[in-house]
Amino acid sequence: MNTKRLLLPKTLWILNRSPNRSKARPLDLSPKRLLAWVCTCLVSLVSVCTSPVSSLGQDSVTPADVQQAIDELLQYFRRTQNRQAKDGPIGAWQGHQDQNTGLTSLVVLALLSAGRKPSDPEVARALDYIRGERPMQVYEASLQAMAMCAAEPGRDRTLIERDVQWLVQAQQDDGGWAYRQDRGASDESNSQFAVLALWEASRIGIEIPAQVIQNGRRYWLEKMNNSGTWGYRGEPKPRGSMTCAGIASMLILEDTAATQDASAQGNQIQCCTPGGRQEYDLEKSLDWLAKNFSVTQNPGYGDWYLYYMYGLERVGRLTGQRFIGEHDWYREGCDAIVGPKNSRLMGVTQGSGALNPPAARAMALLFLSKGKRQVVIGHLQHSPEPSSRDWNRHRRSIQHLTGHIELAWKRDLSWQTLRLQRASLVDLLETPVLFISGSDEFVLSAQQRKMLKEYVDQGGFIFAEACSQDGCNGAAFDVSFRREMEMIFDKPFQKLPPNHPVWSAEARLDPGALPEGFWLYGIDACCKTSVIYSPISLTCRWELSKPYGAKPQYSKVVSAELDNAIKVGLNVVAYATGRELKDKLEAVQIVQSDLNRQVLERGTLTLPKIMHSGGGDETPKALGNLIEVFRRETKAMVDPKTPKLSASSPDLEKYPLVYIHGRNKFAFSQAEQDGLRNHFINGGMVLGDSICGSEEFTKSMREEFSKLFPDAKWQLLPADHPLFLKDGPGGYDLRNVSLIDPGRGDVDLAKAKREGPAEIEALEWNDRILVLFSPNDLSCAMESKHSLQCRGYVREDAFRIGINLLLYSQLH
């Protein structure tokens, strides 16, 4: 949202516009009204001119900055690709004389990660070139296989299998890889690329010999220093680039070896089993990276900077870490690579010819594009003891679930781990879904309870399970987690009914087909179910459900159970997010009224709420949030308090503008009718919306307000009404906003959302507007976040509509 918009030009516009432009009444320019209006404008103008501009994040790179850098890199590769034989092989990028194939494959990987398609001209030319080349070196075979896996694996499977076989034969006796197939000195760099290629091949279903995996794992363990780090060719001095290579290779090899924390025999699933040997301590490696963290040089070496950043991104993504130590590695890395003060895109050689410009730029593009993948779920590390695995009994489960979501949504995504002991509210809000799992007792501090409540109030969603049954004992977690959630939300879990949207938000799931004893339980908060809990382990099933590669052979009973568990995960995440995720660099916006803020009475907007019997206070924070966003956007003087008034209160005459919302049927008494009638006769106005798009409340709104003036008429405002126009008295163009309509979507979320002009009804009397009303929800979205259970606008558009209503009403 634009926070620098000045409102005075719009005020002048409304004074000069022809009254025939709309049916809104002419301005009341009586001395009393004019004086009040001028005071309001002057106070707002002084507020704009004197409000300090926050420096928070001013120097930090923005999503737009990163996208611009990505676009510039894409243009660079379009310009530098060989298109004529006189320049070199058509479709290639020029590298070292004997490494054109590897370099071109690396560029293809970068282009695809940045969103280019295999059919795009520069990618198609490059793929044609790659397909015609036979690898002679490990770098070439590895990158060639990776590029073809990422582009069109079905078409190129034979060539990928050829490269995989070449790499299998090239593995050295010590389990590593050298430059070529013949026997030689292996090194960590060649070995890293070979492991990456074999992993990508396994993800498309190509079987990798188990002995190759075991030998590769042995190589990395033997080369590892006591500090959990790696140097080059076994040197004791650690390098950041080689340590990143070692971390990623160990994680990949363990994943490929399928050392899982769950198993299945016949029709029986066994959960909470210790999966594989624990010879590698990931935390030790991450601790070294944290202590030696840098985004300006390769730690421990200096040169090969972008090669190191290429590895750092992979470590962050594969471990699900947003922070390495105290460092937000992606944000800081973007600042270093593209930020105005630290840009390193020009100095691409980084040392004595370490990387030629195309290779360096390709690695920069890989860091920027892969690192920006949106976060879909965060796993909460809640155990007080860092060494405890209670929060993560099934270590690959969230990674596997994220992979299934990627397949369903057809886009690359990421997941994160958050440490409760260190996390702030902003940290939690970086992820739309917070997943909590455990077997042992779950105990929160008072501050942590407050933070989780605020997380949900700000739009977050809690998805939890007890690691229970089938080998797990989660009784302690079940009792304590239920107790903690009831303390936070002042209500217990309720069994979700079979018609709850979560059963069909992504994939149709018959609750009756689930295992005996399984069900989902929820707590409603902020107009929707905001906490969903499974008392039986889902992560155990996700652990066994690999999204990529050759699928293990399970019995039909187990396969059906695993499939249903994945559907539960997909549905809960889709229900919680509506498939809408924030950009990774987008700043978290916390909407919170400061009720203690001192305000001036004169020229200050106070927006009371009319109370009634139809649920007039069901979204108690919605109006305060709107006022706070209005203050931020317009710099206007506003009162953070939103008094509750009866329509019959004598205090109503103090407020020219009041708000009404609700969810149920209601009726005004005679005294309330008289109070509202006087309010309108004295020039007052009412704004409102129907909470969750309630048809009952909408019907009562129309009927009750029509009784005040029998000749008044309700009309739907046309899309060209000034209220909807950016250059009118409103702040935003409301002719194309997003509405969630649960009645339209069934299983398909795309059908549940439609775009078009905002639907605003106006009650008009004597050529002026008395009431502006949205029959679709604004309040639930402004309270926390829009819900798939409500017919209403998405959160951002709800605030925009609310801001336009306030601006328009102040001038009429």
Q: Which residue has the higher pLDDT, 99 or 195?
A: 195
Asked if residue 437 lies in contact with residue 467, where contact means CB atoms within 8 angstroms, the answer is yes
Asked, for residue 241, whether it belongs to a domain, the answer is: yes
Average pLDDT over residues 178-187: 88
In this predicted model, what pLDDT tens digit does every residue of 455-477 receive, in sequence order? 999 889 999 999 999 999 999 99
Phi, psi dihedral angles at 67 (to 5 degrees): -65, -40
Joined together, the tokens standing for residue 381 give: 């590390």
Domain co-membership, 415 together with 532: yes
Asked, for residue 1, whether it belongs to a domain, the answer is: no
Domain co-membership, 427 together with 498: yes
For the chain, what is the radius of gyration of the CA atoms?
30
Residue 316 neighbours by CB under 8 Å, 6+ apart: 322, 324, 329, 330, 371
In this predicted model, what pLDDT tens digit does every residue of 604-638 receive, in sequence order? 889 999 999 999 998 998 999 999 999 988 888 88
Number of domains in the chain: 4
Domain co-membership, 165 together with 110: yes
Residue 98 has a pLDDT of 60
> Residue 729: pLDDT band by 50, 70, 90 thresholds?
low
> On the CB side of 424, how many CA atoms lie within 13 Å of its CA?
6
Domain co-membership, 450 together with 435: yes
Domain co-membership, 623 together with 528: no
Asked, for residue 219, whether it belongs to a domain, the answer is: no
In this predicted model, what pLDDT tens digit does every residue of 81-120 receive, in sequence order? 999 888 788 999 987 656 789 999 999 999 999 999 999 9
Domain co-membership, 419 together with 539: yes
Range of the domain at 509: 374-577
In this predicted model, what pLDDT tens digit does every residue of 495-520 receive, in sequence order? 999 889 899 889 888 777 777 788 99
- Prediction pTM value: 0.84
Q: Which of 581, 629, 582 is nearest to 732 (CA)?
A: 629
Domain co-membership, 403 together with 527: yes
Domain co-membership, 622 together with 563: no
* Structural domain ending residue among the three candidates 372, 403, 426: 372
Could you tell me what percent of the chain has a pLDDT over 70?
A: 87
Domain co-membership, 641 together with 755: yes
Do β-strands 644-646 and 609-611 pair in parallel, antiparallel, or remain unpaired? parallel
Asked, for residue 268, whether it belongs to a domain, the answer is: no
* Structural domain ending residue among the three candidates 544, 577, 610: 577
Q: Which of 520, 542, 541 is nearest to 532 (CA)?
A: 520
pLDDT > 70? residue 157: yes
Asked, for residue 687, whether it belongs to a domain, the answer is: yes
CATH of the domain at 142: 1.50.10.20
Domain co-membership, 403 together with 543: yes
Query: What is the residue-averaged pLDDT of the chain?
Result: 86
Residue 744 has a pLDDT of 64
Asked, for residue 53, whether it belongs to a domain, the answer is: no
Asked, for residue 67, whether it belongs to a domain, the answer is: no
| Angle formed by the axes of helices 138-151 and 188-203, nearest 10° | 30
Domain co-membership, 34 together with 126: no
Asked, for residue 491, whether it belongs to a domain, the answer is: yes
Domain co-membership, 732 together with 742: yes
* Structural domain ending residue among the three candidates 510, 543, 577: 577
Q: Contacts for 181-190 with beta carbons within 8 Å, 24 or more apart?
A: 185/233, 186/219, 187/232, 187/233, 188/223, 188/230, 188/231, 188/232, 188/233, 188/242, 188/245, 188/246, 189/232, 189/241, 189/242, 189/245, 190/138, 190/139
> Residue 274: pLDDT band by 50, 70, 90 thresholds?
confident
